Every structure is written in structure tokens, then in C-alpha cells.
Structure 1
Amino acid sequence: MNPLDYKSKDYLPLNYYPWPNLMNPHVEQMGKDMDAWIDNDYTFLTELQKIRYKKMRLHACTACMWPHLTYEQAVPCNRFMLQYVVLDDQVEDSLPEEVEYLRTRCTAILRGDQPTSEENALYQHMALIRDEFKAFMPEVWVERFIESFYITIRYGIELEHPYKTANRPPSLALFQVLREYSVLMFPYLTFGEIESGLILPPHILEHPVVKRMITLLVRIIAWQNDIHSLPKELAKGTEIFNLIFVLQQENQLSLQEASAEALRIHNKDLEELLALQNEYREFGEYQEHVDQFIYYSGIGIQGVNTFYLQETERYRHGGAGFAWPEAANEK
């Protein structure tokens, strides 16, 4: 297969998943908000990066994934979508100690520290996100969100670095463990509890069936991302953290064969998730909580697939829609 002939919709078409495909009614205002943040707050980005982030329409990802949020609820979720994507993109070439500092400082701000006037929007918006979530979510949920943010940076972005430096992918077995964190989805999964209003208590979150279902949710989104982002990553030439690339190298597969195998792995995880949800019904008074968590997470999976296919230029062939790290105009 010629890389230019690769189309992710051939593997994951619109409405692929067994959940509703919806759009938040506040999507237009959410777009205006995000464009204003990019223009007025994210001053460390270059002008080209600002243009490209606007064309990515990341607010539509928020709107597709969480269509039932009120506007008040959507604001911090939308703000975090931009903050987290920019953070991940722009640390691509950062040293490990720089990423560690960013993780430590952002976590401290989420836990109550105030950013200084010299700190850029990645830190300023963390304080706003914290305060906006605390206005309508209980402390137990806020702490879970913070912990999810911490572990995805610590065990996702930071653990990728040695492999990226060596330009050598891990084995398929190890990659599947690391990718669960590097896809950065754990914090986003907590947003479904905002929609449902049903907060999973600790003893339910610790249940092995729930833990496995959360792992599967994250893995499904990771494989989905790897399939849809492949055109952008083929252009870079040095990307190694993609399931299709790992399968190609480990099993000596063609691009077409590796893509088909990636879809098979994706579908196997999806089937397991649905099977676990259907078979295990032993959560008693918290059964509705678990069902709603999976339902709203499923809408998120369907929604981000729609975003990839219909709403964004982020993953265009040749990497033309991606905001690659550049020398910034302003720190």
C-alpha cells in the first residue's frame, strides 16, 4: 500500500461503535472560546501554530465526546482539551527534566498553588480548570481527575522518551502497556461522570471488573488514535509510538497487513469490553453508576471517532495540519 492511499475511514468508518453519535449544542460558543484562548492566552505559540490549532477545531472534539454537558460544565472540559493537547504536542522535543517540571508544577497548581504572572497559559489555565471544576464537582472527583493527569504524564509522556530518543520502539507486549498511559485518556474518562452526575466510589473503581473495563476503554481509544493519526505520523518519519508501526517492525508486516492487525486488536478489546459489561451485573446499588460510566465513555469513543473523520485537520496526510514544535515568539 502506498502511504498516500491509506484512509483511516476504511478501518474505522463513521458510526462504527454501538453508542449514539451526538454533538453538544454549545459547540459554536465553545469554538469562539477556544479561539480566544489561543489568540489571547497562548502567547508562547508561534503564529503558524495558532493558525493550526484553530483549524484543528479541538472544541469539536469536546463537543462530540461529551454532548450532554451544560455550557458551564463544558468550559473547563474544553479548556483542558486545548491545554492537554498543546502540552503533549509542544513537549515532543523537551528534555526529561523539563517534562518532569511541567508535570510537577501543573499538578501542584491543580492542588491549590497559584501560577505566577510569568508562567504561560499551560499553567494559568490549569488554575482556571481547577477552580471551574471545583465550582460544581465534589472533592473526591477533583482528586481523581488530578491523579489521572499526573499518571498520564508520569507513565505516559515520560516513559516514551527513552524509546523516542533511541528511535527504537518497545516490543508489542510492552508497547500495549505504555500506550495505555501515553494516549493521555485517563483524565478525559472522568468527564463522563460530570454528564451522568453519578460519581464512582473508590470501592467500585477498585473492583477488578471495573478496572479492566477502564483499561479496555483507554486501549480502544489508543488504537483508534493510532489508526486515525497514521497519515500525520508517516510524514514525521521518526514516530515510533503507534501500534501499526510496532506491528510492522515486530512481525515484518506491510502497512496494509499491520493496519488490518491493528483493527483486529482494537475490535478484540471492544468485544471484551461489551462482554464484561453485559455479563457482570453484580454491583448492586452501584450498577447504574457503572452502566452510566460505560455508556457515557462509549459516547466519547464514538464522538472522538467522528471528530477524526469530520471535524479536524490535525491528522492530514503529510502532517500539514499538525502544530509541530517550533521556536516560540514569546515565552
Structure 2
Amino acid sequence: MRPEEYNSGNYLPINYYPWPNLINPHVEQMGRDMDGWIDNDYTFLTEKQKVRYKKMRLHACTACMWPHLTYEQATPCNRFMLQYVVLDDQVEESSSEEIEYLRTRCTAILRGEQPTPEENALYQHIALLRDEFRAFMPDIWVERFANYFYITTRYGIELEHPYKVANRPPSLALFKVLREYNVLMLPYLLFGEIESGLILPKHIVEHPVVQRMITLLSRVIAWQNDIHSLPKELAKGTEVFNLIFVLQQDCHLSLEEACVEALRIHNEDLAELLAIHKEYREFGEYQEHVDQFLYYSGIGIQGVNTFYLQETERYRHGGAGFAWPDAATKNNLTL
């Protein structure tokens, strides 16, 4: 199989998952909002990058993943979608110290500090979404969101950095551990609790069955992303954090063989997720909370798959739809 012949829809087609495929009715206004933020607030981006981000239609990812949110609820989720995607994209060529600064400063703002007027939209918007979440979510949820942001940045973006610098992937065994965090999904999974109105208490979140479900949810979305983002990453030539590339190196597979094996791993994790949820029904009065957490997370998995296939130019062949880091952007990233 030649790279240009690859079609991710052959592996993960529309409606692949056992959850509804829906879209938020506020999607068009969410798009207008995001385009305005890109044009007016994200001034550190180049004009070319702004055009690329608008064509990605990231607001549609928010709308497909969380179709039941009200407009008030969707706004900070949509704001975070842009903030976190831009942060992750644009630190690609940053130093470890710059990435650590971004993580430390954004986490501090999520936990209550105020950005200075001179700080850019990455900091201004994380303060705005923090206050928007606080308007309708309890403190325990906002703190968990801040903690998940910290965890995915610290153990996701930062731990992958040395491998990107060295241009070599980790072993398959280690990759499976690290990819759970560097797919950056933990904060997003909490948005299903906004939809359901049922917030998992601390002792339920810490339950080993729930922790395993969260791991599997993150991994399924990671493998899904690796399958759909492959055309962009094949063009780059230096991407190492993709399951298909890791399988090629670690198991000495062809591109086609690695794609088949990646789908098998994805399906195995999905099957385990569904199986443990079906079997373990010992959460007592919080069983509905857990059921709803998985249901709305599942809608998110189905929705982001639809986004990849129908809504975005982000992963076009050759990397033509991606907002690659720019030297001018890099110099202004931590300001």
C-alpha cells in the first residue's frame, strides 16, 4: 500500500461505534464564535495558520462529541477545544523549558490566578473558560478539570518531547502507557458529566474499575486518532507518536500490516471497555453516574470519528490542512 492510497475510513467508517451519532444544534454559532477568537484573539498566529485553523472546523469536533450541551455549556468546551489544540500543535518545536512554562502557567490560571494583559490568548482564554465553567459546575469538577489538564500536559506533551527530539519512537509496551496521556483526552472526558448533570464523586473516580474504563476510553480515542491522522503524519516524516509507526518499528511490519494490527488493538481495547462495564455493576447508588459517564463518553468517541471523516481538513494527505509551527509563532508562544 502506497501512502497516497491510505483511507482511514476503510478502518473506522461512520457509525463504527455502538453509540448515537449526533451533532449539537448550536454548531453554526459555535463556528462563528471560534472564527472570531482565531481572528481577534489569537494574534500570535500567522495569517496562514489562522486560515488553517478555521478550515479545521474544530468547533464541529466540540459539537459532534457533546451534542447535548446547551449553548452556555458548549461555549467553554468549544473555547478549550481551540486553546488546547493550538497549544499542542504549536509547542511541537519548543524546548522542554518552554513547554514546562506553558503547563505551569496555564494550570495556575485554571486554579485561580489571573493572566496579565500582556499574555496571549492561550492564557486569556483559559481564564475565560475557567470562569465560564465555574458559573455552572461545582468546585470539585473545576479542580478535577485543572488536575487532568496538568496530568495530560505533564505526562503527555512533556514526556513525548525527548522522543520527538531524538526522532525515535518508544517500544510498543512503553508507547501504550504514554499514549494514554499524550492524546490529551482526560480533560475532555469530563464534558460528558456536564451533559448528564451527574458528577462522579472522588471515591468512584478512584475505583479501579472506573480508572480502567478511563484508561481504555483514552486509549481507544488515541488509536482512533492514530488511524485518522496518519496521512498528515506520513507527510511530516518525523512523527514518532503514532501506533502505526511504533508497530512498524517494534514488530517489523509493513504499513498495511501495521494498520491492520492497529485496528485490532483498538478493537481489543473497545471490547474490554464494554465488557467490564457490562459485568461490574457494584456501584450502588452511583451506578447511574458510571453508566452515564460511559454513555456520554461513548457519544464523544462516535462523534470525534465523524469529525475526522466528515468535518475537518486537519489531517489531509501531505499535511496540507495542518497549521505547522512557525518561527514567528514560536517566539510569541509563551508571552
Name the TM-score class by shorter chain.
Answer: over 0.9
* Uncovered stretches (5+) of structure 1, i.e. residues with no partner: none
Verify: 1:154 aligned to 2:154, yes or no: yes
| Structure-2 residue corresponding to 1:21 | 21
Structure 2: gaps (5+ residues): none
Alpha-carbon displacement from aligned partner over 1:222-259 (angstroms, at most 9, x marks no partner): 00000000000000000000000000001110000000
- The DSSP-based 3-state class of the residue aligned with 1:177 is helix
Q: In structure 1, what is the equivalent of residue 58 of structure 2?
A: 58
* Structure 2 counterpart of 1:265, one-letter code: I
* Aligned-pair CA distance for 1:167: 0.8
Q: Which residue of structure 2 lines up, in the alignment, with residue 95 of structure 1?
A: 95
Q: Deviations over 1:105-127 (max 9, x none)?
A: 00111111111111000000010
1:222 match: 222
In structure 2, what is the Cα distance between the partners aligned to 1:241 and 1:217? Answer: 18
| Deviation string, structure 1 residues 175-199 (Cα, Å, up to 9, x no partner) | 0000000000000000000000000
Structure 1 CA distance, aligned partners of 2:168 and 2:216? Answer: 26
Displacement of 1:326: 0.7
What residue identity is the alignment partner of 1:220? V
5 Å matches for 1:197-236?
Answer: 197-236=197-236
Q: CA deviation at 1:168?
A: 1.1
1:31-50 equivalences under 5 Å are 31-50=31-50
The residue aligned with 2:243 is: 243
Indicate the SS of the match to 1:117.
coil
Partner of 2:288: 288
What is the aligned partner in structure 1 of residue 276 from structure 2?
Answer: 276
Q: CA deviation at 1:54?
A: 0.1
State how 1:111-130 maps to structure 2 within 5 Å. 111-130=111-130
- Rounded to whole Å, the distance in 2 between the matches of 1:172 and 1:253 is 13
| Residue 328 (structure 1) shift | 2.7
TM-score by length of 2: 0.98
Aligned equivalents of 1:149 and 1:305: distance in 2? Answer: 22
| Alpha-carbon distance in 2 for matches of 1:140, 1:308 | 32
Could you tell me how far apart the structure 1 residues matched to 2:113 and 2:280 are?
Answer: 42
**Contact 1:3–1:231 (Cα < 8 Å) also in 2:** yes
* CA–CA separation in structure 1 for the residues paired with 2:39 and 2:166: 36
How many Å separate the matches in 1 of 2:254 and 2:168? 18
Measure, in 2, the Cα distance between the counterparts of 1:326 and 1:207.
43
Q: Secondary structure at the match of 1:328?
A: helix
Determine the C-alpha separation between the residues in 1 that align with 2:77 and 2:49: 21
Moved >3 Å (runs of 4+): none
1:218: how far off? 0.3
Aligned to 1:264: 264
**Contact 1:110–1:146 under 8 Å retained in 2:** yes
Who is 1:4 aligned against?
4
AA of the residue aligned to 2:24: N
- For residues 113-169 of structure 1, what are the alpha-carbon distances to aligned partners after superposition, in whole Å with 9 as ceiling and x for unaligned? 111111000000010011000000000000000000000000000000111111111
- Measured in 2, the distance between the counterparts of 1:114 and 1:108 equals 8
- Quote the Cα distance in structure 1 between the aligned partners of 2:24 and 2:307: 12
In the alignment, structure 1 residue 107 sits paired with structure 2 residue 104: no
TM-score between the two structures when normalised by the length of structure 1:
0.99
> Using the alignment, how far apart are the partners of 1:162 and 1:56 within structure 2?
28
Q: Note if 1:320 corresponds to 2:332.
A: no
Counterpart amino acid of 1:325?
Answer: P
Amino acid at match of 1:58: L
The answer on whether the counterparts of 1:3 and 1:234 sit within 8 Å (CA) in structure 2 is yes
Alpha-carbon distance in structure 2 between the residues aligned to 1:214 and 1:251? 27
- SS of 2:327's partner is coil
In structure 2, distance between residues paired with 1:265 and 1:67? 28
Whole-Å separation in 1 of the counterparts to 2:168 and 2:325:
21
Amino acid at match of 1:65: M
Kindly provide the amino acid, as one letter, of the partner of residue 185 in structure 1.
M
Equivalent-residue separation in structure 2 for 1:19 and 1:62 (angstroms): 16
Residues in 2 aligned to 1:250 and 1:70: alpha-carbon distance in whole angstroms: 45
How large is the Cα RMSD of the aligned pairs? Answer: 0.7
Contact kept? 1:223, 1:266, Cα under 8 Å:
yes
Aligned residues of 1:46 and 1:327 also touching (Cα < 8 A): no
Cα separation, 2, equivalents of 1:287 and 1:167: 45
Shift of 1:327: 2.6
